[in-house]
Amino acid sequence: MTTYAIHNGRDFKFIKNLRVIVKCKEGCELFAYCAKLPDEDTWQLRKLVDTHSCNREYKVKLMRSSWLGRRLYSTVNENPNIKITDISNKVHQKWNVGMSKMKAFRARRVAIDMVDGSFKEQYIRLYNYCHELLRSNPNSTVKLEVQATNSEVTDYVDIPLLPSFRRLYMCLNGCKESFLICRPIIGLGGCFLKGYYGGMILPTVGRDPNVQMLPIALAVVEGETRDSRTWFLKLLIDNLGGKQACKFYTFIYDQQKGLLPAMDKLLPGVEQRFCVRHLYKTFRKIHLGKRLKELTWKAAKSTYHQT
């Protein structure tokens, strides 16, 4: 009946009891009578007078965000970054009904939760995810770190809340064993998460014999800080055989925050290199043109005789 009301541009009144009676505006002839079937969770339309003597309305109160979110499932699945104005225009064109920007925003949120799942429910299942990784990948390393959450006081009752997510580190045994027979070069990077809760991914990659990237370890942290970098590097060093074994590796990165102090603290004197592409991006802010780019790559590819 809600879908029928929105398609026809009317606001219905629902009189609920053991039965449901649906009426339109006062003076309108529309009438619907529904009843629940015995021993079933099903409602049956028993009587319908499908005749309107009133005018359409542009703002229909039954156009709720929950109802619209279910109708936007396929649209959001194809385009998760759909704009609020596009949703409003689509509602106007399809149903000739107007809606506020806030209601369109809530409807998009409902559709995104249906496509990707609720963030809260996914975080609750992190422990199950970690145990499944360890079960399916023996001898792997998975570390989940949480932090205490302040209690919520409701009606003078102290309700303890579940701990909240802080960091996650994983190093699959298959990736680690594969890297030990590859070139001793380790790339350290970082990527910001643009989801609802934010955060940062810290990946570590190597180079396999086919000159392709080989993932070694991965971490999800709260931000780009010295503490998070140090925590990640300590676990990575332990997985690679300790500080003595890591002295034979060459680490390459792009001068990210907190990484230089963490490297100097944990692995002093280890071979370190900077990414040429990121160096050129820094140069380009002051020195424009392609000439510097060509000279930069020539210098990076040049060789020298060791004495």
- pLDDT tens string 245-267: 888 898 988 766 678 888 888 98
Domain count, the chain: 2
CB 43 within 8 A of CB 36: yes
Residue 195 above 80 pLDDT? no
Domain that holds residue 183: 165-274
Mean pLDDT of 207-233: 90
pLDDT of residue 293: 80
pLDDT of residue 194: 79
pLDDT of residue 152: 53
Residue 275 binned pLDDT confidence (cut-offs 50, 70, 90):
confident
Mean pLDDT of 16-33: 81
Q: Identify whether 197 is part of a domain.
A: yes
pLDDT digits (tens, 9 = 90+) for 93-142: 888 888 889 999 999 989 988 887 777 788 888 999 999 999 999 999 99
pLDDT of residue 206: 92
159-173, 207-221, 282-296, range with greatest mean pLDDT: 207-221
Residue 151 above 60 pLDDT? no
Q: Which of these three, 19, 44, 62, is where a domain ends?
A: 62
Q: Identify whether 83 is part of a domain.
A: no
First vs last C-alpha separation in the chain: 86
Residue 2 binned pLDDT confidence (cut-offs 50, 70, 90):
confident
Q: Identify whether 289 is part of a domain.
A: no
Mean pLDDT of 289-301: 80
Q: Identify whether 150 is part of a domain.
A: no
pLDDT of residue 117: 76
pLDDT digits (tens, 9 = 90+) for 223-235: 888 899 999 999 9
Rounded to whole angstroms, how far apart are CA atoms 110 and 64? 11
Q: Identify whether 87 is part of a domain.
A: no
Please say whether the dihedral angle defined by the alpha carbons of residues 184, 190, 193 and 199, taken in this order, is positive or negative: positive
Using only C-alpha atoms, the chain has a radius of gyration, in whole angstroms, of 30
Q: Which of these three, 47, 62, 77, is where a domain ends?
A: 62
pLDDT of residue 131: 95
Q: Which of these three, 41, 62, 83, is where a domain ends?
A: 62
Residue 73 above 70 pLDDT? yes
| Angle at 136 (CA atoms; ends 133, 139), nearest 5 degrees | 80
pLDDT of residue 150: 67
Residue 153 above 50 pLDDT? no
Rounded to whole angstroms, how far apart are CA atoms 189 and 224? 11
Three-state secondary structure readout of the chain: CHHHHHHHCCCCEEEECCEEEEECCCCCCCEEEEEECCCCCCEEEEEEECCCCCCCCCCCCCCCHHHHHHHCHHHHHHCCCCCHHHHHHHHHHHHCCCCCHHHHHHHHHHHHHHHHCCHHHHHHCHHHHHHHHHHHCCCCEEEEEEECCCCEEECCEEECCCCEEEEEEEECHHHHHHHCCCCCEEEECCEECCCCCCCEEEEEEEECCCCCEEEEEEEEECCCCHHHHHHHHHHHHHHCCCHHHHCCCEEEECCCCCHHHHHHHHCCCCEEEECHHHHHHHHHCCCCCCHHHHHHHHHHHCCCCCC
pLDDT of residue 282: 78
Q: Identify whether 142 is part of a domain.
A: no
Q: Identify whether 13 is part of a domain.
A: yes
Q: Identify whether 232 is part of a domain.
A: yes
Residue 157 above 60 pLDDT? no
Q: Calculate the average pLDDT of the chain.
A: 84
